[in-house]
Amino acid sequence: MTDVPGGRTDGVPATSGEPGRYPIEQARALGVLRNRHFLALWLSQVATQVGGNMVLYGLTIAIAGLSSSYSAVSLLFLTFLLPAVVFSPVAGVYVDRLDRRLILVVTNALRAVAFVAMLLAGDNLPVIYLLSLFVATSTTFFVPAESAMIPRVVHRDQLITANGLFLFTLNASFGIGFTMAGPLLLILAGYHALLLVVAVLYGAAALFCFTLPSGEGAAIQLSAGEAVAEAEVAVASTFGQLREGIAYIRTEPRISWSLTYLAVSSSLIGVLGVLGPLFAQRALALRPQDFVVVVIPLFAGLILGILLLNQYGRYLPRRRVIEGGLLALATLLVLLSVAGPLSRFLAGVETGLVDLGAVVSLLSIVTVLGFLAGLAYAVVAIPAQTQLQEELHEDIRGRVFGVLNMLLSLAALVPIVIVGPLADRLGSEVVIFGSGVAVGLLGLGSIVAAHPPVGISAAPHGRHVPVDPLSASFSLSRGPDELEAEGEDADPATGGRSAVGGP
């Protein structure tokens, strides 16, 4: 038998322990990095994710500076998002039919060349947009090939660790690339140096992927007609799954609410990316590249929100946490829209204790609001994702999650397309204020219309949790028959629910 990298033989996943026993995950999480093929794949992910976030920041700042137009920045984000929606079904076909190592190497090399071409394009915005489309399309083929390669190179009893490390890297790369490495390199060395570094990172990723094993179900030859037919079937299947998922979501209000929370939080990130650089320039009197002074507090608040949820989230009613986060986000967005007048008003307040002029400068107010907005974003997005996972039935979970990314991408496209032209016409402050009002209405609508599901509290099993007064008031307004139909306890002392926390 021929040994296959990653502890596998003849393409069969390796197992440990007695025959037939499900392998036990190794205790040492970093042990998977001793697998040289997985290490190469992971280093490729680090290089492409960090580089991708660096270049997204750099291009956002560069286009904002070149055009002084919110619409131009909107178009940039559109070039990054649209290929994922359009080409994802087709990409899956070719990933299953071609050598995955070849796909990984070629897409990384092509993206490296595209960034060099972007460097040569200078200030030519149409060429930059076309190259961004090309990079995003290549990424659409790279991502599924990368995911499919993990079980090819990793021992079966390390798959959980490997996927966890990839998920952690995916999230950490945004903080490293978009909030630290990208802004720092842009300030110290400039836009062209940033593009060159990103091109080198993608070139290095291509070399890492070149060391990966090839074969195993790859290199299936298709004629041009067969490839087109396969792509048509994939597209039809994807849209069929999309229709089925939407139909299910419409019949399940709890699921639709969770998806709404995720879509709104995702959209706000896009809105911030579109409006942020020119808002920093026009409202804060900063250079567009100094937008990082808003991004860093936002990211710090996000990290703190994650830590607080990990520590205390299980003691809180999840739906109420989400609604509180939405109302907090709404308040913070409204305050951000009037940060300038608020700063001038507070600076004029006389007090004998402290000079408010230095404390309440516009920049300091925006920094604090950014930190709190990051905290509120975490309080909305993470519990919403958790709630969605818990409430989906097992037999529909795969189909709903299969279309979730497409739904979220489509949801993010709408505000990104709209907010740029609106901000050019009305001003960024008006758009931010309107976004705050919309988020606030969603929070209030959720409080009124979205009754908390059974077991809403994530308190440890057997512990009593405080009565939720909002749930109690809504439950008391409904009859016992209605409560029983929803599967809730009709005892008004507990607000229509058992006081014992869910598992």
- Per-residue pLDDT tens digits for 189-224: 999 999 999 999 999 999 999 999 886 544 455 555
The one-letter amino acid at 84: A
Rounded to an integer, the average pLDDT of 341-352 is 63
Token representation of residue 316: 């809180």
The one-letter amino acid at 468: D
Rounded to an integer, the average pLDDT of 347-359 is 54
Distances (CA, A) of 58 to 65, 81, 190, 370: 11, 17, 9, 20
Rounded to an integer, the average pLDDT of 402-408 is 61
Distances (CA, A) of 236 to 72, 230, 406: 33, 10, 14
Q: Is the pLDDT of residue 303 over 80?
A: yes
Q: Phi and psi at residue 3, in whole multiples of 5°?
A: -70, 140
Percent of the chain with pLDDT over 90: 21
Rounded to an integer, the average pLDDT of 359-383 is 84
Q: What is the pLDDT of residues 473-490, one digit of tens each?
A: 333 344 444 444 444 444
Q: Is the pLDDT of residue 472 over 50?
A: no
Instruction: Assess contact for 300 and 374: CB atoms under 8 A.
Output: yes
Q: In the chain, where are the structural domains located?
A: 32-221, 252-450, 460-503
Q: Tell me the C-alpha distance between 342 and 362, whole Å.
A: 8
Residue 306, pLDDT score: 85
Q: Which residue has the higher pLDDT, 480 or 331?
A: 331
Q: Is the pLDDT of residue 64 over 70?
A: yes
- Mean confidence (pLDDT) of the chain: 74
Q: If one looks up domain 252-450 in CATH, what number appears?
A: 1.20.1250.20
Long-range contacts of 87-91, Cβ-Cβ distance < 8 Å, separation of 24 or more: 87/137, 87/140, 87/141, 88/140, 88/238, 88/405, 88/406, 89/231, 89/234, 89/235, 89/237, 89/238, 90/231, 90/234, 90/235, 91/140, 91/141, 91/143, 91/144
Residue 290, pLDDT score: 72
* Residue 350: band (very low, low, confident or very high) from pLDDT cuts 50, 70, 90: low
Q: Phi and psi at residue 458, in whole multiples of 5°?
A: -105, 25
Residue 238, pLDDT score: 60
Residue 501, pLDDT score: 33
Residue 308, pLDDT score: 87
Q: List the end-to-end C-alpha distance of the chain, in Å, as a whole number.
A: 47
* Residue 10: band (very low, low, confident or very high) from pLDDT cuts 50, 70, 90: very low
Q: Tell me the C-alpha distance between 2 and 213, whole Å.
A: 13
Q: In this structure, how many other beta carbons lie within 10 angstroms of the beta carbon of residue 462? A: 8
Rounded to an integer, the average pLDDT of 271-295 is 78
Three-class SS of 414-438: HHHHHHHHHHHHHCHHHHHHHHHHH
Residue 318, pLDDT score: 82
Q: Tell me the C-alpha distance between 86 and 406, whole Å.
A: 9
Long-range contacts of 22-26, Cβ-Cβ distance < 8 Å, separation of 24 or more: 23/156, 23/157, 24/157, 25/157, 25/158, 25/160, 25/161, 26/157, 26/158, 26/161
Q: Which residue has the higher pLDDT, 114 or 411?
A: 114
Q: Is the pLDDT of residue 119 over 60?
A: yes
Residue 214, pLDDT score: 80
Q: Which residue has the higher pLDDT, 77 or 266?
A: 77
Q: Which residue has the higher pLDDT, 23 or 432?
A: 432
- Under 8 Å CB-to-CB from 225, ≥6 apart: which residues? none
Does domain 32-221 sit in CATH 1.10.3720.10? no
Q: 163: buried, middle or exposed (CB in 10 Å: 19+, 13-18, 0-12)?
A: middle
Q: Which residues of 182-202 are buried (b: 16+ CB within 10 A; e: fewer)?
A: bbebbeeeebeebbbbbbebb
Task: Choose the weakest-confidence range: 44-58, 252-266, 380-394, 456-470.
Answer: 456-470
Closest CA to 11 of 156, 204, 219, 122: 156
- 3-4 and 8-9: which strand pairing? antiparallel
Rounded to an integer, the average pLDDT of 9-38 is 53
Q: 438: buried, middle or exposed (CB in 10 Å: 19+, 13-18, 0-12)?
A: middle
Q: 103: buried, middle or exposed (CB in 10 Å: 19+, 13-18, 0-12)?
A: buried
* Residue 407: band (very low, low, confident or very high) from pLDDT cuts 50, 70, 90: low
Token representation of residue 242: 């999309």
Residue 488, pLDDT score: 42
